[in-house]
Structures are given as structure tokens and as C-alpha cells.
Amino acid sequence: MHLQNDLLIRAARGENTERTPVWIMRQAGRILKEYREVRQSAGSFIDLVKNPELVTEVTLQPVDILGVDAAIIFSDILVIPEAMGLPYEMVESKGPVFPKTIQTYEDVKALRIATENELDYVFQAIRLVKKELNGRVPLIGFAGAPWTLFCYMIEGKGSKDFSKARKMLIQDSGLSKDLLDIITDSTIFYLRAQIDAGANLVQIFDSWAGVLSGEQYETLILPYVQRICREVKGAPITVFAKGNPGVRAALGKTQCDVVGLDWTMSITESRILVGPDKTLQGNMDPAMLYGSFDEIKKATKAMLKEFGPRRHIANLGHGVYPDTDPDKVKCFIDAVKEFSS
């Protein structure tokens, strides 16, 4: 399928583009009333995620309403633990909860590597989205990084510092390695299958990278990320290690194509640390979208100037906050298009 707008893919590969591509992490979701209506009709979040027709509808909403340069498949990173045999629940206004967690070797042994069987609903949705998009913009696939999934599988819910997961990493390196290995195997299968189904780029979300030191991340966690980058082929790969500035230089040496930056990371410094061979993605503070339209435009202009016209994919430095006015999101997107042309 020929892409009419392939700015994202060309920017990811380091090719020249007429302007900077832009999309928004968590663009498909609660900021849009159109999403909330579909979510309501689906029943639960998990029912929505497992319904390819409804997933297609909410995946396309931000393309139609916000004018982003990419769609991202509507799903969640926690479908992988579920496919491995550790189901989750999504508790209203609380977030994900795992009734059962990983504590012992027996727990790890009871897990399986995720396969086509458990995840077919995702691949069906990707094929349907691609058909509906009809080449308008690329489709982004995604997965949680091994460390972030490890955090949820040990802790069983969200946490400020994931101290139980970090305790496991320190006290039982054998169990930790086995668990990270099986998550990595599952993720490699999953991302390859997303690309086979039609994903044009895949992003690895390491949302909890920041609870580890740069050195810990580099020695204990990065090898798994690197294995994914090495073994998943056929589409550019973005790695977003949120909150861990110490690992940027090492990420520059992995086989990924794009390095995601959060809003605390200096753009100029990141460019030096990551090196010239990777595209950078980010990194407007999501809270900036609580500012006035003029303030958003000014901040966007400054951000674009610091990144420069090449090897940049414009985005926020983390997911858009649920109570953000969609018109402010649109203001950011339009400003990127205008000021980078």
C-alpha cells in the first residue's frame, strides 16, 4: 500500500522532509468526546481493546479530528502480560490491576511466550485500520518495554517508585533475567506480527525507565531492548525510555531508529549524546497545552528551532493529559505544520 503521507517514516529514516511530522502520544483516548462515546458503548476498556471494529473507529478519530501525521493502533501495553497468562483488569479512575502477580520461579514457569492465538484481535484490528486508512498516514504499532512490563507483572498495579520490582531485580537476578527474557521473546513475536499485519513503525514504551539509574538501566535492562531492536525488522523502531536521561548515549548505540525524549531532557544536549544517526522524537511538556493558544504557538516554535528541520518527529514529552482541551492539542499540531514548513 502506497502511503500518501510518509513524513513520519522518512523522518525516522533520517531522510529530508518538506516539514516536521507530528503525532501525539495517547492521541486516541479520553481527550476526545468521540472516544468517550465509543468507550461507553463498548462497556469496559478491555472489551473495547478486543473489538477490532471499535478499535478501528477510535484509532482513526485523531487522524480525522486532529490532523496528525500518523495513527497509533488503539490498544494497551498490558495485552502482552495477559497473552503470557497474567490477565489484568482496568479499574475505573485507578488504572490497571493484576489479580495475580509474579513472585516465585513457579510463577515465571507458569507463563508462556505470547502467540498469535492470544493476540489475534490486535492483528485483525491492524489489518482493518490499514484498510480504512487507505494509505492516508502511516500506522504506528507499539509494545511496552521489558522493564515496564516487568514492573507491572511484579507489582500488580501502578506505583510511584516500583520498589517491589526493583527489589526483585536486586534480590533475585536469576528470576529477573528469566522473566525479562520471556517478556522479550513475547515482545519480539508481537512487534514482528504487528509489522506483518501492516504497522509502518513500532514504538517501545519504557514508561518506568526512570525508576532505575542510568547505569542500572544500561547494564541490566538495555540488552533486552537491544535484542528487540536487533531481531525486529521491516519497520523503523522508536525507543522511549521516559525519565532516564542517563541512558541517552547508550540508546544512540542501539539498533533503533528513533529515540524518544521527555520534556525534562534538553534537546541540544540530547542531540549530542544520542549522536547524528538517530531521529529524535518529542518533547513538548504536556502541561504546556494548559497554556493559552499564543503560549502554545510560541513554545512550539522554540521547540522546532532547537530540534532543527531534520531528524525530528514532533510530539509531546509524554502522553497527553486526559483533561486537555482538544483545541489546544490541535493548536500544537497546526503550529508544528506551519512553523516547520
Instruction: Number of residues interacting with ligand CP3: please give it, by CB under 6 A.
Output: 21
Our finding on whether 30 is near ligand CP3 (CB under 6 A) is yes
Distance CA 32, CA 166 (A): 36
C-alpha cell at 115: 502467540
Residue 186's DSSP bridge partners are: none
Between residue 87 and residue 106, which ones bind ligand CP3 under the rule CB under 6 A?
Answer: 90, 95-96
| Nearest CB to ligand CP3, comparing residues 74 and 271 | 74
Least separation in angstroms between CB 29 and ligand CP3: 3
Residue 143's DSSP bridge partners are: 204
Instruction: State which of residues 76, 178, 181, 334 lies at the interface with ligand CP3 (CB under 6 A).
Output: 76
Residues 6+ apart with CB under 8 A from 8: 21, 23, 69, 70, 137, 138, 140, 200, 201, 313
Residue 95's DSSP bridge partners are: 91
Q: Is the bond preceding residue 315 a cis peptide, omega within 30 degrees?
A: no
Q: Give the catalytic positions in this structure.
A: 26, 30, 39, 76, 152
Distance CA 100, CA 215 (A): 31
| Nearest CB to ligand CP3, comparing residues 204 and 271 | 204
Distance CA 217, CA 211 (A): 9
Instruction: State which of residues 22, 25, 149, 195 lies at the interface with ligand CP3 (CB under 6 A).
Output: 25
Distance CA 144, CA 191 (A): 10
| Nearest CB to ligand CP3, comparing residues 44 and 268 | 44
| Nearest CB to ligand CP3, comparing residues 228 and 271 | 228
Between residue 234 and residue 263, which ones bind ligand CP3 under the rule CB under 6 A?
Answer: none
Our finding on whether 142 is near ligand CP3 (CB under 6 A) is yes
Least separation in angstroms between CB 264 and ligand CP3: 14
Residues forming contacts to ligand CP3 in the complex (CB under 6 A) are 25-30, 39, 45, 72, 74, 76-78, 90, 95-96, 142, 158, 205, 207, 319
